[in-house]
Structure 1
C-alpha cells in the first residue's frame, strides 16, 4: 500500500509537468497524456530499481524523455499525420481586447516556433526555460556535456531570434 501512496504523491507533484514535457516532444495532447500514464506506470513497476543517485525529479524526467524518444521512433507515430496544434490560451489581466489578441498571437507564434525547433535544440530549451532545470541537470538527463547543453541553448535562442526578431522590430 505504501507504493501506491508514493505513486499518488509522484502524480500530484510531477503529473502536469510530465504531460507538458511529453507534449513538447509529440505535439499532441492525447499522445502526451498516454505517455504520461506509461511513465507513471513504469515508475510504479520500477520503483525498487531507483537507487537515489539522482534526484527523484531527474529519474522521472529521464523515464519521460526516454519514453518520448521511443514514441518518436515508433512506426505508428512517424506514419500518422498529426493535426493537433497548441490551443492553450493565455489570460491577460486588465488588458484591452486588442492588446489581448495581439499578445495571444505573439505567444502562439513563440510557442509554435519553439515546437518547430529541431529536437536537439528544443529539448534543452524547454528543460531550461520551462522546467527550470540547471545546465548540469539537463546534461545529466540528456547524457550530454555541459558545454554541449550551453551551445544548444545558445543555438536555440539564435534560431528563435532569427525567426521572431523581424516581427518584434
Structure 2
C-alpha cells in the first residue's frame, strides 16, 4: 500500500507547525496570526491546505495501523471486518453538527452527540445518528449491549437532540468558527 503523502511541507514549516499544535487554542491563534504577518495570506492558506492533507494522512495511517494490529497481534481474520470505525476529519465535522443539537449531560462517555468522543468523530456513527433522526426506534447506545452484542438502550444524546429544533446553518450569526 502506498504511503499517505497528499501533502508537502518544508522542514522549517513542519517544525513551526509542531510548535503551534502543542498550545491551547488562544496561543495557536496568536502563533497563526504571526505566521500570517510573516508569510502573507496566500502562504497561510497553503499552510492550512497542507495541514489538512497531513491530518488526512494521519487518520489513514491510524486506520491502517489498527487493522494491522487486529490482524497481526490479535489474530482477527481480515474477512471479519472491513476496517475499524475510526475517527476522520469529515466525521469530526459532522460531529460538530451533532454535538450542537443537545447538552450531552446524562449521555454515555462515547456518545456520538458528545463533542470530541470517538463516535462523535466517526463518519459512520455520525451518519447513522443523522440518518436515524426521524426513525421512531431512534439511535441506540452502543455502551449498553445485550449478551448477543446488540445495543439495548436508546441513545440519550439522540433522544435529547430530537427534542430540540433542527440545526439550520442559515440561523447562525457572528463568528463562523
Query: Could you say which TM-score interval applies, normalised by the shorter chain?
Result: 0.3 to 0.5
What TM-score do the two structures reach when normalised by structure 2? 0.32
Quick check: which has more Rg, 1 or 2? 2
What TM-score do the two structures reach when normalised by structure 1? 0.33
RCO comparison, higher one (Cα < 8 Å, 6+): 1
